[in-house]
Amino acid sequence: MGLKPGRLPGDLLGAHVSTQGGVAEAPARGTVIRATAIQLFTKTPNQWREPALDDAEIGRFRAALAGSGIRAVVAHDSYLINLASPDETLRNRSVRAFAGELQRCRALGIPWVVSHPGNYIDERAAGLERNARGYADCLALVPGEVGVLIEGTAGAGTALGSTFEELRALRDALPAAGRARVAFCLDTAHLHAAGYDVAGGGGGLEGVWELFDREVGLALLKCLHLNDSKGAPGSHLDRHQWIGEGAIGPEPFRRIMREPRFAGVIKIIETPKGDDPVRHDRRMLRRLRAYARGPRDNIRMTATVGRA
1-37 pLDDT per residue, tens: 344 545 555 699 999 999 999 999 999 999 999 999 9
Would you place residue 294 in the very low, low, confident or very high pLDDT band (cuts 50, 70, 90)?
confident
Report if residue 106 sits inside a domain: yes
**51-55, 239-243, 254-258: range with lowest mean pLDDT:** 51-55
Per the structure, the complete domain to which residue 174 belongs is given by 13-307
In this prediction, residue 6 carries a pLDDT of 54
3-state secondary structure of 184: strand
Report if residue 100 sits inside a domain: yes
Report if residue 164 sits inside a domain: yes
Amino acid at 261: R
pTM of the complete model: 0.92
Report if residue 208 sits inside a domain: yes
Report if residue 2 sits inside a domain: no
* pLDDT (tens digit per residue) in 36-72: 999 999 999 999 999 889 999 999 999 999 999 999 9
Task: Provide the number of structural domains found in the chain.
Answer: 1
Q: Provide CB contacts within 8 A for 16, sequence distance 6+.
A: 38, 39, 40, 76, 268, 269, 270
In this prediction, residue 51 carries a pLDDT of 87
CATH number at residue 278: 3.20.20.150
Report if residue 186 sits inside a domain: yes
Q: 158 and 120 in contact (C-beta within 8 Å)? A: yes
* pLDDT (tens digit per residue) in 106-147: 999 999 999 999 999 999 999 999 999 999 999 999 999 999
